[in-house]
Amino acid sequence: MKILVTGGAGFIGSHIVDAFVDAGHEVVVVDDLSTGFEEQLSPRARFYRVDIRETGLAAVFERESPEVVCHQAARANVRESMIEPELYADVNILGSLNLLQCCRQFSVRKVIYASTGGAVYGEPREVPVREDHPINPLDPYGTSKHTVEHYLYLYRAHYGIEYTALRYPNVYGPRQNPFGEAGVVAIFANQMLRGQQPLINGTGEQERDFVFVADVVKANLLALTRGDGEIVNIGSGVGTSVNQIFDFLAQECGYAHPAQHGPAKPGEVSRIFLNPTRAWETLGWKSTISVAEGLRQTVNWFRTAEPYWLRSSSPSQEPSPSIV
């Protein structure tokens, strides 16, 4: 089938594009390269440098006529969203609405949507969190991602466009930019390998659901033919603390310095991990790569990768981990 992937030059999106192409699908990538990189673009996919908010997006749909849209493009930095909520509404909500209008106009059959399980629930009442947990996001990022879930329901009800919304956990792995919309794994791995001191915000006992990018890719592959009309947590069901991540990475990187802690970040959820039962029941998906193995693969990639992300990022800046 022909699949259009938004954000296909980004961390997660580029891995999804590779997997779709490997599975024999015809793939079209839309990305404005604001956070993605040309080096991550698959040469086997057709690429359009287009912002999802632009009117020119319709021209791509008219030319390509995709059957399925895999929507990965978004602004995805929790702390940035607290400073620039208008930007997150503009890109994540209005950009997605522009995309859905194109899907309606050009008869797209289904949308696979990258939502967030780390930011929509707020501070959970119980863990692991189920999909029917109350939605109380604590930041504009989570609010924007959840809002689009409502639009997906609306477009299915009125226009027959199927969807599967995948609520991602803390995704990590090769190609994650340690300076941009970074996760704690990418930041710490890059700093440790360069002999720099990572800084843990707060006590480090914050727990998150860390899932390796290859497992997230599998969920997107399965969603091509399963999970219509569903919102699904893509999680391991297990919490891992930031301190544990530090210790795992220090061992893999050969980093001997003790952990250092800074002030806690306001508004940060203290403990969340996701119940994966519905993912198994509707998609046949479960997390298969352990945190230890995933971190090992991530560190090996950082050891050998050419740091192309430095072109648009300043290594002199101290990145602040985005733990969503």
> 271 and 124 in contact (C-beta within 8 Å)?
yes
pTM: 0.95
pLDDT band at 267 (very low <50, low <70, confident <90, very high): low
Q: Which of 88, 113, 121, 141 is catalytic?
A: 141
Contacts of 43 (CB under 8 A, 6+ apart): none
Amino acid at 31: D
* Nearest one of 57, 14, 53, 10 to 34, comparing CA atoms: 10
Residue 269's pLDDT is 83
Split at pLDDT 50, 70, 90, the class of 291 is: very high
pLDDT at res. 317: 43
User: pLDDT tens digits, residue range 32-60?
Assistant: 999 999 999 999 999 999 999 999 999 99
Confidence of residue 159 (pLDDT cuts 50, 70, 90): very high
CB 222 within 8 A of CB 283: yes
pLDDT at residue 323 tops 70: no
Query: What pLDDT is recorded for position 309?
Result: 77
pLDDT in the model for residue 84: 96
Residue 17 is predicted with a pLDDT of: 98
Distance CA 263, CA 200 (A): 8
* CB atoms closer than 10 angstroms to residue 51: 17
Average pLDDT taken over every residue of the chain:
93
Omega prior to 169 cis, within 30 of 0? no
Instruction: Name all domains of the chain by residue range, CATH numbers in brackets.
Output: 2-170+212-233 (3.40.50.720), 174-209+238-273+290-311 (3.90.25.10)
Pairing of strands 207-208, 240-241: antiparallel
Q: What is the mean pLDDT of residues 131-153?
A: 96
Cα dihedral across residues 281, 117, 148, 50: positive or negative: negative
Per-residue confidence at 3, pLDDT binned at 50, 70, 90?
very high
- 121 part of the active site: no
pLDDT exceeds cutoff 80 at 310: no
Tokens 């604590």 belong to: 138
pLDDT band at 312 (very low <50, low <70, confident <90, very high): low
**Predicted pLDDT of residue 180:** 65
Percent of the chain with pLDDT over 70: 94
* Range list of β-strands (E), 103-220: 110-116, 162-168, 170-172, 199-201, 207-208, 210-212
Residue 161 has pLDDT above 60, yes or no: yes
Q: Is the pLDDT of residue 298 over 90?
A: yes
pLDDT at 297: 97
- More confident position, 115 or 318: 115
pLDDT digits (tens, 9 = 90+) for 198-238: 999 999 999 999 999 999 999 999 999 999 999 999 999 99
pLDDT for 181: 60
Q: What local confidence, expressed as pLDDT, does residue 78 receive?
A: 87
pLDDT value of residue 179: 84
**Quick count: other Cβ atoms within 10 Å of Cβ 138?**
18
Say yes or no to pLDDT of 322 above 80. Answer: no
Is the predicted pLDDT of residue 260 greater than 90, yes or no?
A: yes
Residue 318's pLDDT is 45
Calpha distance 185→213 (Å, rounded) = 12
Is 208 in contact with 168 (CB distance < 8 Å)? Answer: no
What's the one-letter identity of residue 313? S
Which of the four pLDDT bands, split at 50, 70 and 90, describes residue 265? confident
Answer whether 27's CB lies under 8 Å from 42's CB: yes
